Amino acid sequence: MKNPPIIKQISESFIMPNLNELNDVKDPYFLAPGDLAMLSAHYIQKGLLFYKPSTRIEEFSIEIFLEKLRDSLSRTLVLFYPLVGQLTTKINDDEHTCLIYVDCKKGPGVRFVHATVDLAVDDILSPTDVQPITKLFFDHHKAVNHDGHSSPLLSVQVTELEDGVFIGCSMNHAVGDGTSYWNFWNTWSKIHQQHSTTLSLPVLERWFPEGHGPRIILPFTRTDEFITRFEAPQLRERIFHFSSDSISELKKKANREAGEPQKEISSLQALSALVWRAITRSRCLAPDERTVCSLDANLRQRLNPRLPHGYFGTAIWVAKAAATTDQVLGNNLGWTALLLQKAVLELTNQTVRNVFESWMQSPFVYQIEKFFEPNSIVIGSSPRFDMYGNDFGIGKPVAVRSGYANKFPGKVTTYPGREGGRSVDLEICLPPDEISVLESDKEFIAMTVEGLHV
């Protein structure tokens, strides 16, 4: 890669929806328990890399492209109007409490940044590691969600490369989760393409535990009581590719070894078990050390009645499995996958309701350094999210990349593979020495595209 690449900001603007099109705006817009618990986490930062149209790259007008993006974004925000608001806090010193909500009339709108960098698409695609420069393809670098009191809840940065374009979105995680985030992207893409008849409209009505809401009072008056700023240690962020055939074979292997046909192990559970085993080996833990694997779980389909897929908010919890090192490595892949499956199946409607009822009795805000145990693996995002279907008139994305946000040792982010089918890409964050061990792990690498070509 050319050294050193420099991001140059060309322009900045703020995008608002057409106010004449807004109907039934809820203001103030109250946040649910799942939203408020995320106040100390980072913004969601994901982005898509595109080639400029290859047949007419010299004729490509970035100005026209940006203007069309701004226009379609403005129309999209009519449906997602809370994103143009700003977090607001009302403090009750006498009771040592506060109320945090979105003021939809106070916000500056969505920040829209145009930047350039002297790099080619292949400079981003070719290395197996995520390049450090990609962190600068996003606004809100290192921002936590509580910063939404003074910063936009959504920011879009369009970075022009020599032969491509990267569109990076930073969205406040206290306003929406990964499902909400990619629903926003998908809606924006469809509106941009004038496919309004296929829109799946967001559901902005928040879910609260029975007997609670919409005004959720937090037992804090000072920011330092519930907000911390986690700084990640030195990490390598490595991309591993798994083909559809490899994922199918992995699922068959896990189910064969589990030997319980009535409890079919899913593709993601099998892949997660493979990752848990490999990262545990890379950490060289003692046989009796505890290790934990957590899967981010979408709660929409786990509640009864279910929340709609278009529910716009934070509706996630973790399915957590724990075992000692010798249990994870002394048993086979199927055993580990069954342990993960058990954790997922335990997230029933009643369990979820109990979790949030307990939270209401003693509200807390997640702190990364405290919420996840040592030797943890946290598997987030989803290969089911429609990332490569987002088309803004210049063709299909060629890659998904993420920013600095919410990364720590053992964080694994799942993406769909660009070729579709069951293919999956994993972005694994580990200290450099542990990634080096992982790259030579025979069981793990054999299932990747690289391993299949050896």
Which pair of tokens denotes residue 431?
């200290």
User: What is the SS3 string spanning 145-209?
Assistant: HHHHHCCCCEEEEEEECCCEEEEEEEECCCCCCHHHHHHHHHHHHHHHCCCHHHCCCCECCCCCC
CB within 8 Å of 445: residues ≥ 6 apart: 439, 451, 454
Instruction: Give which of 91, 109, 102, 100 is closest to 29, Cα–Cα.
Output: 102
Which pair of tokens denotes residue 15?
């995008």
Residues taking part in catalysis: 173, 391
CA angle, 127 then 131 then 133, to 5°:
145
Q: How far apart are CA 308 and CA 301, in angstroms?
A: 8
SS3 388: coil
Per DSSP (E only), the strands in 193-328 are 217-218, 236-242, 290-298, 316-324
Which pair of tokens denotes residue 266?
């899913």
Q: Which residues pair with 160 in a beta bridge?
A: 116, 165
Q: How far apart are CA 247 and CA 22, in angstroms?
A: 45
**Cα distance between the two ends of the chain:** 26
